[in-house]
Structure 1
Amino acid sequence: MSSFEFDRRQYLKMFEPKLLTVLREGYGLQAFKADAIAGLTVAIVALPLAMALAIASGTTPEKGLHTAIVAGFLISALGGSRVQIGGPTAAFIPVVFVVIQKFGYGGLILCTLLAGLMLIGAGLLRLGTLMKYMPQPVITGFTAGIAVSIFSSQVKDALGLQMQEVPAKFFARWAAYAQHIGTTRPAALALTVLGLVAIFGLRKWKPKWPGFLIALLLGTLAALALGLPAETIGSRFGDLPSALPDFHFPHIPFERTFELLPSAFTIAFLAGVESLLSAVVADGMTGGRHRSNGELVAQGVANVGSALFGGLPATGAIARTATNIRSGGRTPVAGMLHAAYLLVFMLVLAPLMRYVPLAALSAVLLVVAWNMSEFENFRNTLSAPKGDRLVLLLTFFLTVFFDLTIAIEAGIVVAAFVFMFRMAEAVEISSGVRMIDDDLRPGDPSREIDIQQRTRLPKGVEAYQIGGPLFFGAANRLDNLLDQFFETPKVLILRMRLVPVIDASGVHALRKLAERCHRKGIVLIVSGLQEQPNRVIARMKLEESPGELHFASDFDHAVRLAQRIAAPHPSAQAT
C-alpha cells in the first residue's frame, strides 16, 4: 500500500460519521431503549426552546421547530460526536434578527446556505483543530454580549409593551422601551414572573423535571383559566402548521451575496465554535473523543439542509447535549430520535400551541440569557492579566453595542497583538525550551537530566515539565497529556518552573486538566510556579483541593508529597 493511499484513507476516516462507528461496533435493543428515553427527554426540553428562539430571532415559531427537526437529525446522523444534539441556539439570535430586518427572510436563507458551505469547506480543509486555539476571553466576551442582547430583545414580550417593531440597535431599542413603558400589561408581567419562578424553583427542588416545558404549561393554563389579556402565539402568528416541513423557501436575493458574506461568516464561525465547544464538553462527560473536522462537515450539511427547508441556522447545543448524556443517551440514535419526537409533537400539538403566552416564552429566553452569560467565568476572567481583560471587555461591548462580526474580528486581532507582546517579553526566557519534554533525542543533555529525575519518582507517579509561556495558543497541549500513559498513575507532577507567563486560557486548561485527573482518580501536583503564573492562578481562584490538586514549591517538595499520596494505605498492607 502506498503512502498516498494510506494518507487518503486516514483523511477520509476523519469524516466518518460516529453513527457508522456505533453500528459497526454493534447496536442492540438495550442501547436503543436508552437512546429512546434520552431522545424523548431532550425533545421535551427542545420543544419550547425551538419556538422561543425562532420568535426572538424575528420569525415564526414553526421555523424553530423545522430547524430542530431537519438540522437536529442531520447533525446526529452525520456528525463526529456520539452524543451531540443540534438545533437552533441563542447564539444566533442577534445576527439572525439583524439579517431578517435588513434583507428579509430570503436573505437569511442565503446566509444560512453560505454559512453551511463555509463549514463544509472548513471541515474538508481540516480547520476544525484550529478552533481549539480560540482565545477564551474572546469566547467569554461575545457569549456574555449575546446574553445581554437576548435579554434586551425580550423586554417587550416580558412586559407586554404595546409597540410595533423592536429596533435592532441596542440604544435605539432601549429608547423605544422607555417611550412605551407606560403601556406595560400587568398580565404579561405576571406570566413572566410565574415562568421565572417555576423554572428556578424546579431547578432547585426538582432538577430532573423539564422546567421550560412546565413553565409554558403553567403560563398557558393560568392565562386560559383567569382569562388574562396576554398576547399569545396564536394572536401574533396565527395557527402553527401541523404538517411536515416542505422543501420551499422565499425568494433568495443572490444579487446581494457579497453584502451578506460578513453575516454568513459570523453564522459559520458561531456554528463551528459552539458545536466544537459542545463536543468537547460532551467528551469530558462521557470520556469519548469527537472528530472535529467531521463534526464541522456535518454542521455544514445540516445548515444547508435547514435552509432548503426554510429553517434557521443550527449548531450543536451544549445544554441539550448535556441533557442527552445525563438522560442516558450514548449514540447518535438518541439525537435522531429527538428530531423524530419533535416532528410528532409538532404534528399532534400544533393546534394547542396557539394558546401559549409570549410572556411565558419570554421567561424561558430570559433564563437562557442568564445561563449564557456565564457570570462566574466572566468575573474570573476580569481577574486575568490586563491583555485578557482588554480582549474580554472589547469583545463584550462591541457585541452589545455594535455588531457581532466586528466584535469577533476585533477580539481576535487584539488577542493576537497581546500574544505577540507577551512573546516579545518572554522570548529570551523561552529560547531553546521545549513545550513538553517527553520527546528527547538520544545524547541530548536534558534527556540525561530527565532520566536521573525520573529514577527518583516513586511507583505510580509520573512527571511532565512545561517550558515556555502557557497561553491560548499552547494551552491545548495539556488536553492529550493523560492519553500518553500506558498505565494510569496515582499521581501526576506537572513541573512549571520554566513557565514564565500564563494567561486566562492557560489557567482554564489547568483547571480542565485537574478535572480530568480527578475523574480518572489521579492526584495532580503543580510544582515550581514562578511569580506571574502563581499570581494569575491565585487571582483566578484555581485553588488547592486535598486529594485532587496540590501546589508544591519545587520538584523535591512535589516528589515528597507524591510519595505520601502514592504510598499504600497501612490497612491495605496489613491485608
Structure 2
Amino acid sequence: MFSALKKSVHSKPRFPEIQANVLAGLTVGVIALPLSMALAIASGVAPQYGLYTAIVAGIVIALSGGSKVNISGPTAAFVVVLLPIVQQYGLGGLLMSGLMAGLILVLMGVGKLGRLIEIVPYPVTVGFTAGIGVVIATFQVKDFLGLHVEATDGHYLDRVWLIVQALSSIRWQETLIALLTLGVLLLWPRLRSRIPGHLVALLVGSLAAWLLAQLVPGFSVATIGSRFSFELGGVTGSGIPPLLPAFDWPWHLPGADGQPIGFSFDLVRELLPAAITIAILGALESLLCAVVADGMSGKKHNPNDELIGQGIGNLVAPFFGAIPATAAIARTTANIKSGGSLPLASVVHALFILVSILLLAPILSYIPMASMAALLMMVAWNMSEARHFIRTAKVAPRDDVVVLLICFSLTVLFDMTLAVAVGMGLAAMLFIKRSIRLTQSATVERDHAGYELPASVTLYDINGPLFFGSAQKALKTLSEVRPEVRVVVLDMTEVTMLDMSAIIAMESIRNDLQARGTGMVINGLQSRMILKLRRAGIRKQSGRIAFSRTLEEGLAKAQAMH
C-alpha cells in the first residue's frame, strides 16, 4: 500500500525526470479536461462533476495506488452503469454508490484479489466493452442531431424508439457542428500532430458555432452554458461554476426528487448491486490499464496495492462531489508516451484541470453539446474494439462466441449489473466445464508395467483435479466393477486436487466396495490429500483399504489382499 508514493520519495528523481513528468502531466491534463466533462454529461450529471473526479481521484489514486503511471478519472466503461443510477437516485445516489464501491475495492485489495484480471476470459471483456460502446454511441444521437426527446429514461430499446420518434425534429445547425467536429476527430490523427485531436476538434466546433451564430440569422446550438446552470450565493450562473471541489456529505446531496437522499439501510441495500458492478468494472479497468502500462513503460505494478489505491480514491472522491473513477487506458498511454514515469504526472494533470476550472470556466461554457456528442461517439467507437469483436466471433471456439454474444446483448438490451453477473457466471461455468475435460478415469489393461494382473484385481488410472464438477465423472466407472473383482487399485499419482465433493464420492465408493466384500488400494496420492481422506474416515484397514507410494507396491498389496 502507498507503494507508488514511497518509491517516488525514496528514489529521489532527478530534475530532468521531474521536468518530463510535469510536461507529461500538462499534456494529459489537456486531454482529460474535455473528456472528463463529456463523460460526466454522458453519465447524466453536470460537467463539473467529471472535472472534480479527475482532480480528487486523480491525485489520491496516484499517491496510494500500485502503479506509478496510471492516470485515473471518469471513464467510458462506467457510463452505462452510472446513468441508470442517476436517473433513479440522482447525484446523491451516484456518489453513495461510488463510496460503497470504494470500500469494496479496498476489501478486494486487502483480500489479495489483484490477479482478478487474469481470471476473466477475453470474450467476456470484449463483450462488455463492445456493448458499452454501442450504448454510449446510441445515446449521443440525441445531441448529435439536436433532437427534441421528451424523456430520456427507460431501457435501451425504449430509448431507441424515443430517438426514432424524434427524428422529425432534427436540427441542421446541431448536425452541422457535430459532423464538423467528427470530421476533425477522424482526419486529425493523419497529420501526426502532437496536439490532441479532440482538443482541436472541440475548438473548431466551438469557433464554428460562434461564428455562424454571428453571421447566419437564427443560427443557434445548445452549449454547456445553455444546458447546465449552477447557483452561487443566491445568484444563478450558466455552465461550469469557477469553484474548487468543496467538501460535502454525499447523503446530503439531492436524489432523483431534488431532495437530500439521506442515509439508510434500505438505500444501501438498493445501491449494493450497482456498487458491486462499479467495483468489478473499476478493478478490471484499472488492472488491465496497469498491465498495458507495464508493457509500455517497463515498470511493474502491484495489483493489490492498485486495487487499494482505487478504493481509497473512490472512498474520498464522493465527499468532494466526484463520481466513480478508475484508471483510463487512453490517458495512461498518453502519459507514458509524453514521458510520464512518476505519480507526479497524474498530480500535475489534476492540478491543470483545477486551474482550468478557476480560469477557463466561462470559455468552457461555449462548447456545443453537438461537439461533445461527436467526441463521445469517437470514444465509444474506440472503446468498442469492433475489429477484435468481429475477429473473436469468427475464430473463437463456439462456447466463447456464445459468451461473447450473451455479454454483449445483456449489456446493450438490459443493464451492466446483469451483464456482469451473468458474464462472470458464464466464465465460471466455462472454467468448470473445461477443467472437467482434463480429469480422466480409465480401466488399465490386464498386462500392465510387466505385471499380469489376475482377473480378481482391476487397476484404474485417474488423472487431473477431482472437484465438485469432475469427481462424479472421473469416479463413475468404479461403480461398474465386475462381480469377480476382489481388489480395486486406484492409481491417483496424477490427481492434483481433492475437494469435499470428491471426498464424499470416495466415501460412497468405499462403502459400495465394502458392501461387495471388495478391497481398495489407493496409490500415489499426495500426502496432503491422504490427510484429507483420513480426516473423513477413509483410513488403512487390514484386508479392506491400503495406501501405497508406488504402483509396484500397490499391485503387490492388491495381490496379497485378494
| Structure 1 counterpart of 2:240, one-letter code | L
Deviation for aligned residue 1:207: 4.6
- Tell me which residue corresponds to 1:243: 243
Deviation of 1:26 after TM superposition, in Å, equals 1.6
Residue 266 of structure 2 is aligned to residue 254 of structure 1: no
Deviations 1:41-98 (A, max 9, x none): 0000001100000111111000100011100111111111010000000011111110
**How many angstroms apart in 1 are the aligned matches of 2:36 and 2:73?**
8
Offset at 1:179? Answer: 1.1
Larger Rg: 2
Asked whether the 8 Å contact 1:123–1:294 carries over to 2, the reply is: yes
Which residue is equivalent to 1:348? 359
Q: What SS does the corresponding residue of 2:148 show, helix, strand or coil?
A: coil
- Offset, 1:468: 9.2
Deviations 1:180-239 (A, max 9, x none): 101111111111111111011111223522111111110110000010311000111023
Structure 2 residue corresponding to 1:397, chosen from 409, 415, 437: 409
The TM-score, its normalising length taken from structure 1, stands at 0.71
**Counterpart for residue 229 of structure 1:** 220
What residue in structure 2 maps to residue 270 of structure 1?
Answer: 281
8 Å contact 1:240–1:351 — kept in the other structure? yes
Mark the CA change 1:355 to 1:426 in structure 2 (over 3 Å): closer, same or farther. Answer: same
In structure 2, what is the Cα distance between the partners aligned to 1:190 and 1:86? 33
Map 1:80-119; keep pairs closer than 5 Å.
80-119=66-105
Alignment CA distance shift 1:207-1:425 (3 Å): farther
Task: State the alpha-carbon separation in 1 of the partners of residues 261 and 329 from structure 2.
Answer: 31
Partners of 1:429 and 1:279 in 2: CA distance? 42
Structure 1: distance between partners of 2:149 and 2:227: 13
> How do 1:67-216 residues align onto structure 2 when only pairs under 5 Å count?
67-216=53-202
Aligned-residue Cα RMSD (Å) equals: 1.7
Q: Which amino acid letter does the alignment assign opposite residue 402 of structure 2?
A: L
In 2, the alpha carbon distance for the partners of 1:58 and 1:429 equals: 57
> Helix, strand or coil for the counterpart of 2:426?
helix
**Partner secondary structure for residue 254 of structure 1:** coil
Length-normalised TM-score, structure 2: 0.73
2:488 corresponds to which residue?
none
Moved over 6 A (4+): none
- In structure 1, the partner of 2:301 is 290
Q: Does the alignment pair 1:428 with 2:440?
A: yes
- Per the TM alignment, residue 104 of structure 1 is displaced from its structure 2 partner at its CA by 1.4
Question: Is the contact made by 1:109 and 1:252 (CA closer than 8 Å) also made in structure 2?
Answer: no
Question: What is the total number of aligned residue pairs between the two structures?
Answer: 419
Please say if residues 167 and 173 of structure 1, whose CA atoms lie closer than 8 Å, have aligned partners that are also in contact: yes
Classify the secondary structure of the residue corresponding to 1:162.
coil
| Letter paired with 2:220 | P
Residue in 2 that maps onto 1:448 = none
Tell me if the contact between 1:67 and 1:306 (Cα under 8 Å) persists in the aligned partners.
Answer: yes
Pairing 1:337–2:348 present: yes
Q: Which runs of 5+ in 1 are unaligned?
A: 1-14, 431-466, 470-575
**What is the CA-CA distance between 1:429 and the residue it aligns to?**
9.7
Letter aligned with residue 315 of structure 1: T
Does the alignment pair 1:413 with 2:425? yes
- The CA distance in 2 between the partners of 1:429 and 1:323, in whole Å, is 53
- Do 2:2 and 2:63's aligned partners in 1 also have CA atoms closer than 8 Å? no
The AA in structure 2 aligned to 1:165 is: A
After superposition, give the CA deviation of every residue in 1:385-424 in whole Å (9 maximum; x if it has no partner): 0111111111110000011111111112122222222222
Q: Give distance in 2, aligned partners of 1:107 and 1:145.
A: 24
Aligned to 1:488: none
Cα contact 2:227–2:239 (8 A) shared by 1: no
1:304, 1:419 → 2: CA distance?
Answer: 33
Task: Choose which of 42, 47, 55 in structure 1 pairs with 2:33.
Answer: 47
Q: Match for 2:263: what amino acid?
A: F
The aligned amino acid for 1:328 is: G
Q: 1:185 to 1:468 in 2, by over 3 A?
A: farther
* CA displacement at 1:20 relative to structure 2: 1.4
Aligned to 1:161, the other structure's residue is in SS state coil
Q: Choose the corresponding residue for 2:385, options 346, 368, 374.
A: 374
Report if aligned partners of 2:87, 2:153 keep a CA contact under 8 Å in 1.
no
Q: Is the Cα–Cα contact under 8 Å of residues 271 and 315 in structure 1 kept in the other structure?
A: yes
Structure 2 residue ranges without an equivalent (≥5): 214-218, 229-237, 254-259, 443-462, 466-562
Distance 1:375 1:178 in 2: 24
1:76–1:86: 8 Å Cα contact kept in structure 2?
yes
Question: For residues 297-336 of structure 1, what are the structure 2 equivalents within 5 Å?
Answer: 297-336=308-347
Cα deviation, 1:472-519, whole Å, max 9, x if unaligned, reads xxxxxxxxxxxxxxxxxxxxxxxxxxxxxxxxxxxxxxxxxxxxxxxx
> Given that residues 147 and 372 in structure 1 are in contact (C-alpha distance below 8 angstroms), is that contact kept between their aligned partners in structure 2?
yes
Instruction: Determine if contact 1:148/1:369 at 8 Å carries over to the other structure.
Output: yes
1:413–1:239: structure 2 CA closer, same or farther, 3 Å change rule? closer
> In 2, Cα distance between the equivalents of 1:207 and 1:260?
44
